[in-house]
Structure 1
Amino acid sequence: MAQDVKPTRSELIELKKKIKLSESGHKLLKMKRDGLILEFFKILNEARNVRTELDAAYLTAAEKINLASAVNGMVTVKSTAFTAKESPEIQLSGHNIMGVVVPQISSTGVHKSLVERGYGIVGTNSYIDESADAYEVLVEKIITAAELETTMKRLLDEIEKTKRRVNALEFKVIPDLIATMKYIRFTLEEMEREGTSRLKRVKERMK
């Protein structure tokens, strides 16, 4: 019958180191979680403002295109739209927010001059120009909203992941390590008492 493996002092020392390391990691993760939450709410407020601006830009663009269609006819408006020589270009890069890489979207060629839009002055009027302006503003708002909302999603995913790690350390890993340390310490103390008692009995026999 195999004997139970007895714990040692070195195991107790290593366990103390693990607890200290886990507590340090727990503290850092809580700081990261709190920092990410602050960043999230800051971007959330910005996203709300952009969403309001986006809704207003959409209503303005719809109003302008309806007016241009009423004055010039839908066929003229559509044919004018197809004269665009160049499409806007989107550049996607990333930047770091507390260890989370979030998108940074920039654009060129959204706002265009009359020449860049491709249609001539003859055959068009200010209603079409205003419609084009309104839709260019709308496109810019859409790009900004897309960047902010994607950033929020990535931050929220990282917050949830960090919260799970914090909770795992706080309610599972660290308590289990502390319970194991207490058990080892109790066992070692028992072994020392048994050793002392055995030594006393040996000394009494020798007398």
Structure 2
Amino acid sequence: MPATNVNPTRMELTRLKKKLVTALRGHKLLKDKRDELMRQFLDLVRENMALRKTVEQGIREANRNLVLARSSMSDEAVRVAFMAPKQEVSLSIATRNVMSVEIPVYTAHTRTSDSNDIYSYGYAFTSSDLDDAVKKLADLLPDMLKLAQSEKSCQLLASEIEKTRRRVNALEHVLIPRMETDIKYITMKLDENERSSQVRLMKVKDMMLEETHHYKERQASL
């Protein structure tokens, strides 16, 4: 059904046709954006699954080493070993644009460049299993940051995909069909008005011819 407030004029018809062209172009662009977002999203999901497996495996191994260390060390010795950390890690956050979505990029920075500074204790009174646990967790840090970055990116892309999908559906199933219906309605009304005008003109012509014909007959009778 056409909109009730449609004005069936040629100016309105021209305006709606231009609006329809813009809507069709926007619909195509949004569909392309949705497809590209889906491709990026699926790539991130695959990367996320691989990173999660790596991180979870690393954390399990680190926990196993930590349990072994606690079995050979007292709780007090473990607490003392981590009381004065030598290394410090800071995190910087940047963003990169993926199809108008700002996704985060995490980068870790250590206070010192010495890799041995991850051990905040001496080796004389600690277990080698504790060293292995600390080393595994330190090595996992880049993958953990990538995992956090990937999961946040997936959330943002999924939200944008849903928004884009709703816009595509609104254009495809509501706005474009409504404009096409209005254009068809106006075209039919204009054609109907044109036919009515032609009929009226033909009737006026016939009346004028009839009047002229009778006038000539009266002149001839005189």
- Return the TM-score normalized by structure 1: 0.91
SS at match of 1:96: strand
Aligned positions of 1:50-199 closer than 5 A: 50-109=51-110, 113-115=115-117, 117-199=119-201
Equivalent residues of 1:89, 1:108 under 8 A apart: yes
**Partner SS, residue 123 of structure 1:** coil
Give the direction of change, closer, same or farther, for the CA distance of 1:142–1:112 in structure 2 (3 Å limit): farther
SS at match of 1:84: coil
- State how far apart, in whole Å, the 2-side matches of 1:60 and 1:119 are: 21
Inter-partner Cα distance in structure 2 for 1:184 and 1:152: 46
Aligned residue pairs, count = 204
Structure 1 ranges of 4+ moved more than 6 A:
none
Alpha-carbon distance, 1:5 to partner: 8.6
Residues 7 and 93 of structure 1, relative CA distance in 2, 3 Å threshold: same
Give the distance between the partners of 1:35 and 1:133, measured in 2 at CA.
Answer: 39
Q: Structure 2 CA distance, aligned partners of 1:199 and 1:115? A: 99
Partner in structure 2 of residue 29 of structure 1: 30
1:180 deviates by 0.3
What's the secondary structure of 1:103's corresponding residue?
A: strand
- Looking at structure 2, the residues matched to 65 and 140 of structure 1 have their Cα atoms a distance apart, in angstroms, of 20
Deviates more, 1:104-113 or 1:132-141: 104-113
Q: Is the 8 A contact 1:114 1:120 kept in 2?
A: no
Match of 1:201 among 196, 200, 203: 203
Question: Does structure 1 retain, via aligned residues, the 8 Å contact 2:118–2:134?
Answer: no
Find the aligned partners of 2:126 and 2:161 in 1 and give their Cα distance: 52
1:7 partner letter: P
Say if 1:82 and 1:140 are closer, same or farther in 2 by CA, change over 3 A. Answer: farther
Tell me the equivalent position of 2:47: 46
User: Partner letter of residue 196 of structure 2?
Assistant: E
Q: For 2:82 and 2:190, locate their aligned partners in 1 and report how far apart those are by CA, in whole Å.
A: 84
Superposition map of 1:2-17 within 5 A: 7-17=8-18
1:89 aligned counterpart, secondary structure: strand
Bigger Cα displacement from structure 2, 110-119 vs 51-60 = 110-119
Worse-matched range after superposition: 130-139 or 33-42: 130-139
User: In structure 2, the residue corresponding to 1:85 is in which secondary structure?
Assistant: coil
* Cα offset, 1:83, TM superposition: 1.7
Q: Are the aligned partners of 1:83 and 1:117 in contact in 2 as well (CA < 8 Å)?
A: no
